[in-house]
A and B are shown apart, each in its own frame.
Chain A
């Protein structure tokens, strides 16, 4: 009887327009009912050729394009690129600029993690925490708008420092916001992160053991969620991070297995607290002085190449730049965390439910424009 019944896998096209793929990513999934047998991510829908664009614009002119590489954390992308070019040129930048850079990139890290957490919540069907987190992110946008006049694509950190000095009242407003946010983020945690249904949805799902995380080259919170204590800010310190006091939260199997979705999620929640700590320290110690080193209008870095990486919210973003001493880069390559996070999905999405695939995408915090560039 059973021989007569022929069953087949159900091939479903998830995306490019799907509510939970966070942009235009496509998954071709083969399912056995609700259980995924095979998952094949298909990327490239948001490819804009940003790396090629770099070859035709000036060195400074590429900074606004780095905003667009990952628009959820534009400051961090600015920082990566600017520091890479400065290293290539051997440029010293003022101490005040270093502090401002750290403040704004940590503020941006908070807002990026807020989006990541909120999107994960929304994928789990809880819409309210997402909107609450957007409300808090709006305050960060306001603060950054106060500094540079833009809300999303800042173009604030530039080669040689930062474009504008801090406006008067920024310190007070930021401290006030941090006081507010510290309390409210804990409230949102009570609403969703410690919710039993949410924990059950995320715990023990899509476990990535530390070895596997390193094999697949996961970076950032995804790697730390698997219990590997690696943070570029600590491992290869840059800027003023060595002078600051902060912890690197790692996954410990908070509600189940080490390296499950909940660990990755909670690492982000904890990193928000660390960022708040960093900003407080920076605001306390920030020195006076210039906010930008003297840089010519047209710069021509010496011949050579450099690979420089910084810790962005989605893992370390590395910029490889090859300069032939002209007014624009000869070759530029961006290495992003979303890409490696995407490559692990086919491996961990085997034998899980369709609902779990949504949880996996949410917990890995994949951002489509950063993925495709």
Chain B
């Protein structure tokens, strides 16, 4: 970017600053688009899961729905409720936005494509997402609404307690790759499934589950969407928000979905790694990355429209009684596993292939189950009667 600007005859300092601004703008545009498109994807997918169609009116297959929604929200009046803390109320959405937005900096889109390859990338990632809690808490507190307050408090308790298992769970991949840099973690995996972090040992599978569940909780998705919980807290912390500020909350929530998917892809699913022969093709690498991210995002959406919601005490129980011990187990188990097999790469490979095959068997069983369910749902209720068929 800077080199192009330098070529245009600008001074180096100006080019640096201008380049940074341009990069930020590109990422922001990407952020908005991803957030928006994902709202459409989610609504459409949820529609199909519920035997409905979902939004299909604006544009082909309703694809432009998110733009229509965005335009509508921007034109709405920006209300601040009576008795609200005006400064905090107006500031809160941007904390959420920044918390999610800044994570895009360290996401490796493909091998070599990254905005800033920090050597503490993963650590930066975990810490910057904490800003979201502050935003949610601020929104809940400043709204002067009791439901919002409860939502904000729930969010604070939930996100803070789930950060621990997520952090501990992520220690396992760090242990294997020996680095905190995102590119480093990605490079430590291969393009073959059994080279992925997920299948490396039973403990990485465990750590993957802990990380995934924890991420769902941090992204406020069902079964952990207690801060919003529309059947209990009306709309939780964003009850009082309207117009543009509400759109910002919305956008950051769905962009967070993408970020969780991307992080899972990079850390556990091999990121944008390609076979050796074509490793130079960054476009393919980008495509692979997006494909995997899309699959993870689909899984998250799918889970959301399947499961009911936890209660607050059960949520805490899950975190402290189930995930935390499991995270310790995964960490120590992995350390022990590596100690035992560090001279036996073949055993490691066999284990990885075995786990991969187990997953395939599970997938096969799942597909069989699905086909039974499809057959059940397709049974007719209005087949033509003999008299009608004769007509």
A-side interface residues toward B, CB under 8 Å?
A: 10, 12, 18-20, 33-34, 121-128, 131-132, 135, 139, 142, 168-169, 172-173, 176-177, 179-180, 183-184, 187, 191-192, 195, 197-198, 200-201, 353-356, 358
Q: Check B298 for interface membership: any CB of A closer than 8 A.
A: no
CA distance A353 to B233 in the complex (A): 12
Contact A125 B231 (CB under 8 A): yes
Contact B379 A128 (CB under 8 A): no
Nearest CB of A to B389, in Å? 11
- Segment among B34-42, B161-169, B274-282, B305-313 that sits at the interface with chain A: B305-313
Q: Check B371 for interface membership: any CB of A closer than 8 A.
A: no
In the complex, residue of chain B having the shortest beta-carbon distance to the beta carbon of A178: B381
Chain A positions within 8 Å of B232 at CB level: 20, 123, 354-355, 358
CA distance A258 to B68 in the complex (A): 51
B-side interface residues toward A, CB under 8 Å?
A: 46, 49-52, 146-147, 150, 153-154, 222-223, 225-226, 229-234, 305-314, 373, 376-377, 379-383, 385, 387-388
Interface residue from B51, B147, B153 paired with A132 (Cβ < 8 Å): B51
Chain A positions within 8 Å of B308 at CB level: 121, 124-126, 192, 195, 197-198, 201
If A33-B153, A169-B385, A177-B381 are given as contacts, then 13 extra A-B residue pairs at C-beta distance below 8 Å, sorted by A number, are A12-B146, A19-B231, A34-B154, A124-B309, A125-B308, A132-B50, A179-B379, A180-B379, A184-B379, A197-B310, A198-B308, A354-B232, A355-B312
Nearest CB of B to A284, in Å? 18
Given A20-B231, A356-B311, A125 and B225 touching (CB < 8 A)?
yes
Chain B positions within 8 Å of A135 at CB level: 51
CA distance A6 to B226 in the complex (A): 28
Contact A184 B377 (CB under 8 A): yes
CA distance A200 to B315 in the complex (A): 11
Chain A positions within 8 Å of B373 at CB level: 187
In the complex, residue of chain A having the shortest beta-carbon distance to the beta carbon of B385: A169
CA distance A18 to B230 in the complex (A): 9
Contact B150 A354 (CB under 8 A): yes
Contact A197 B307 (CB under 8 A): yes
Nearest CB of B to A18, in Å? 7
Contact B49 A128 (CB under 8 A): yes
Chain A positions within 8 Å of B50 at CB level: 127-128, 131-132
Chain B positions within 8 Å of A353 at CB level: 311-313
Contact A18 B234 (CB under 8 A): yes
Given A126-B306, A128-B305, A187-B377, A355 and B311 touching (CB < 8 A)?
yes
Nearest CB of B to A153, in Å? 23
Chain B positions within 8 Å of A20 at CB level: 231-232
Chain B positions within 8 Å of A123 at CB level: 231-232
Contact A200 B314 (CB under 8 A): yes
Chain B positions within 8 Å of A125 at CB level: 222-223, 225, 229, 231, 307-309
Nearest CB of A to B3, in Å? 51
Chain B positions within 8 Å of A187 at CB level: 373, 376-377
CA distance A180 to B383 in the complex (A): 12
In the complex, residue of chain A having the shortest beta-carbon distance to the beta carbon of B157: A34
Contact B223 A197 (CB under 8 A): yes
Chain B positions within 8 Å of A184 at CB level: 376-377, 379
10 contacts between A and B (CB under 8 A): A18-B234, A124-B231, A126-B309, A142-B381, A173-B385, A187-B377, A201-B310, A353-B311, A355-B311, A355-B312
